Chains A and B, each alone.
Chain A
Amino acid sequence: MPLILLALPLVIASLSLMFTNRKVLGAISIVGSATIVLTALSIARQVFAGSRVVWGQFIFIDALSALILSLVAIIGFMVTLYSLGYLAHDLKEGEFSEDRLKWYYFWLNIFVFTMFLVLVSANLGIMWVAVEGTTLATALLVGFYNKKNSLEAAWKYIIICTVGIIFALFGTILLHYAAVSVTGESGSLDWQTLRRVAEQLDPKLLKLAFIFALVGYGTKVGLAPMHTWLPDAHSQAPSPISAMLSGVLLNCAFYSIIRFHLVVSESLGFRFSSNLILLFGVLSIVVALPFILVQRDIKRLLAYSSIEHMGIIAVAVGLGSKLALYGAFLHMINHALTKSSLFFIVGNISQHYRTKRIIRIKGLFKTMPIMGPALMVGGLAVAGAPPFNIFMSEFIILSSGFAQGRYLVSSLIAILITLIFTGVIYALSKMVLGIPPSRVKLGEHGNFAVVVVLISLVPVVVLGVYIPGFIHDILQQVTSVFIGGSQ
């Protein structure tokens, strides 16, 4: 099963290279990603039913991986759907030539493959290879438009992320070095084994390894101050790719940090690594704030908001109580769903207005009677207002912070979130309200895109008032991954 999951995107990628026709490519990728969703979900179901999926020495899927795996598959599917309309419009506008379309689908599927590889690999080394793979797969997607800005973004993206990730590799090597003496060559990077023997490892080396891994993978997650590539890449990529980057790639990178964290905390105790994660989390929220307050580009605003939300997840993981972890992964789900949906919406809007500058987008309520309210809903959700999903997880995280007696951190975060809310609302109200510029024609931007957006918004609203039983169960299982190792 996991092999099929890994093979599918590769197959679709290679199939994509054989065609140039837009419709054929679309059909292939939709059918393909639908199959991927089914496969991924069936694996997840198997995992959540209680049996871990293991294949050989290198593949291991537990609840944590399964959760993010499902997110990748689902959002991948939504992105594929959305890409159809989005790319068709871009083609019509002559943003790129049709023969490059196959490369889009090729890299998109490679990207999905690498993310899957991150999640299913049982080996920290392979995980590193896969994380670096995600960078390589997306670098050309970020620069897909071949414009000055997008190339610049792609360049910064690949350089900064590669540098960052090299540190992660160094961390991995240090861990390997620490482990070889205990476990011997073969199991030395298998994180399950490592977790088991963690207490015998050299704590000094572990500390060093974690610092390097945190800085390295943290770069990929977009934790400040290593986040600098993120607003550039997320704002310059085609919107469906931005959705994918913000929605799931960050989570995959975060997953890598968690794996290290789990190993290291076994040996060094909980405080060391979780406090570092917490620190970076708070720092990320702090750094995101001013950029959101004075932001001029809507996609950059969303990117900074992603930094903020990764910070919140980091804080929650750093807090580390059961409730906090529950909140962290609920937040991960919520953020993935909401942010990807927002990038869809903004994609439509920026195509319609032919700009991403907030100041030039006005009167959305009038011009786009569905996208305007949708942007408002998504924006409010991402800013943490009820009755939308992110409010729920933020509330859980804050309350767990208070419950642990970490008043200062929790209050600080509550205040930061509030201030960020004002920044987001300021930008949103600039866009949705007011009188639209006369150059913009009234009406929606294609029915298909509207439908995709509306579908993607459904969980945003539903999860805001109601957490279904199965999600509750899943989150319980994911949190137990953290606790499980210590027993």
Chain B
Amino acid sequence: MLRETAIGAYQIFLIILLAPLLTGIIKKTKAFFQTRKGPNVFQPYFDLYKYLQKESVVSEHTSWIFRVTPLIYFSSMLVVTAIVPVVATHSLLAFTADLILIIYLFALARFFLALAGLDAGSAFGGMGSSREMAVAAIAEPAFMLPLFTMAVAAGTTNLTGIVQSVVTGGEGVLTLAHLMSFMALFVVAVAETGRIPVDNPDTHLELTMIHEGMLLEYSGRDLALLSLGVSIKQVLIFTLLANIFFPWGIATVFSIGALLTGTLVFILKLLIIGIVMAVVETSFAKTRLFKVPDLLLGSFLIGLLGLVSKFVFRG
């Protein structure tokens, strides 16, 4: 019991720690491909520190929703962190949570963030909220379907159960269904983490921004919380991608060695996904907002093909 708690705490710690770094790495990689020098990979940490030192300015029009949103957003991410298996198949809350809950905890965070976007009354925030909710809505089925395929294969929606079933080479590992589901989820991850071609995380231009629009009114420590939260969400989604589909290397037993291997492999997987994501971002142009559904529909169809092939081709 104590050991499991310790591992859980370690995983949470690891993710919080790594989150800004991953953001930094992706930015650096993007800069590399754009033949820029780019910021330091540790720049996100400096930013966070900077935000924390600044005064928070809150609009006079806002209500308490605006104030509590950073807290709710951040703690939702923390809870998800406690659920997802990172370096070991077990996590702090795995016994009482599953992937549906994770997705709906993301929804909780998004719900409040979108409300906060509307709260100040500026058109930018409203635009951000509106687009975020629309994109998230159509991303949701595409997000769920690949996960369902894996859950059905494993016979449970419990993440630990799914991961274990894949690790032990359960039904339908590394099959067409498996790979297609991965591809589908990867596309959704682009949308969920707010990256090109769906969103541009680096812009504050009203026509193009989705996610940043909602953060526009935030400053100081609130902004720090939200930025860190967003980074954590990104890591979490990458972790889901990595550990559900390619969990090999993850610690299935509680030994220091296994954990160390697990940690290293995990960081490696994150790096790979991060770099691939950066490559994708630089090789595509941002699409129009109303073209996004086509992209996500494509992802959904890939996921559907995965599901169908699981049953039709028995693999």
Are A and B close enough to touch in the complex, i.e. CB under 8 Å? no
